[in-house]
Amino acid sequence: MLVDHLGRKIEYLRISVTDRCNFKCIYCYTNQNWKWLPHEEILRFEEIEKIARVFAKLGGKRIRLTGGEPLLRRNIETLIEKLSQIPGIIDLSLTTNGFFLEELGEKLKKAGLKRINISLDTLNKEKFEKITGISAFEKVFKSIDLALDLGFDPVKINTVVIKGFNEDEILELAKLTLEKPIEVRFIEFMPIGKNSLWDEKHIITVGEIKAILERFSELIPDFSFGGGPAKIFKWKFAKGKIGLISPISEHFCHKCNRLRITTDGRLRPCLFSDNEINLKPILREGKGTLEEAFFLALKLKPAKHNLNFTLRPMRAIGG
């Protein structure tokens, strides 16, 4: 079992399958000096599967595919099919900007993907384009119902809240849960990848978000799933749930249960630290073992994060 030096049980692996993206979200698409990774630097499907199998053998249970935009990775359903068959992996999920769900959703479901997170920061068409750099609000909004129709369960919406951009829409976004059985999750803006927009002044804390939502109606805590960093609530008469994620105002490092694999095959113990272990010499030159790398990652996992900018942009870490 993977238990780190502070007794944290590690059972969740987030794998970035590409650093490419068709969006340029203002909070993510940062560090313009970061060049696209060359093809040969990117982990191949067999390599990802090997890592996932060792993770599962060591007690890992959950895997999420992310990026960049994971649906830009060609034949992603092939990888999903392989990962979904690994004994011990009980939860396989994916985070997407939703743009390609119409084309790929069915294939993903058939391949064994159980659940999905879609990022959506606004309900306003113009603002959507301002935030993401692409005019695709309708397409992305439609992908929520599509994901529900395809039977992904749960379907979660990730919303990064930034002062001056979308804090005026918190209530409207949360109200999506009145009619749809989805979980809308509000995430505090994090300083990843030298983001010139990031400033403590631009953070809306989950405390402030909660206050806005409670003015509408009392939030009832939901303890049915306590495995992740989100605190889950529900309005009494709503079909869906609301998640509040506070990496900044109330960090949850003491119960962090995850490791990350970057697109170019680095095992990253903490989102906020560029301290990584390169798995490619193990995978491609037989130098050392993946087991040793996982145990080293446990030792390197910091007790808590500092609010340092990371060298890598979010899309090359795997958010």
Of the ranges 17-25, 85-93, 108-116, 231-239, which one interacts with ligand SF4 (CB under 6 A)?
17-25
| Among positions 67, 240, 247, 269, the unique one binding ligand SF4 when judged by CB under 6 A | 67
Q: How do strand 231-235 and strand 241-245 relate by DSSP bridges?
A: antiparallel
Of 200, 198, 187, nearest in space to 229 by CA: 187
Letters for 240-279 (x = contact with ligand SAM by CB under 6 A, - = none) are ----------------------------------------
The interface region with ligand SAM, picked from 1-9, 63-71, 200-208, 277-285 by CB under 6 A, is 63-71
User: Toward ligand SAM, which CB reaches closer, 177 or 310?
Assistant: 310
Contacting ligand SAM within 83-142 (CB under 6 A):
95-97, 119
- The footprint of ligand SF4 on residues 202-221 (CB under 6 A) is none
- When asked if residue 26 is in the footprint of ligand SAM (CB under 6 A), the reply is no
Plot region of 94 (φ>0 → left; ψ -120 to 50 → alpha; else → beta): beta
Name the DSSP letter for residue 230. P
User: Does residue 154 have a cis peptide bond before it, meaning omega lies within 30 degrees of 0?
Assistant: yes
Residue 266 has phi, psi (to 5 degrees) of -105, 135
Tokens at residue 237, please?
């008469």
Residue 270 annotated as part of some ligand binding site: yes
Query: Taking contact as CB under 6 A, which single stretch among the options 133-141, 190-198, 236-244, 293-301 is the one that binds ligand SAM?
Result: 190-198
Q: Which of residues 2, 13, 17, 21 is near ligand SAM by CB under 6 A? A: 21
Work out which of 30, 93, 117, 119 binds ligand SF4, going by CB under 6 A: 119
Paired tokens of 108: 């993903």
- By beta carbon distance, the residue nearest ligand SAM is 319
Stated length of the chain: 319
- List C-alpha distances in Å: 151 to 113, 116, 135, 279: 10, 10, 27, 35
Q: Provide the 3-class DSSP secondary structure of residue 64.
A: strand
* Positions of E strands within 73-154: 91-96, 115-119
Q: Say whether residue 122 binds ligand SF4 (CB under 6 A).
A: no
Residue type, 63: I
Considering only residues 11, 69, 183, 276, which one is a binding residue for ligand SAM as defined by CB under 6 A? 69
Q: Is 312 labeled as ligand-binding?
A: no
190 binds, among ligand SAM, ligand SF4, none (CB under 5 to 8 A by kind): ligand SAM
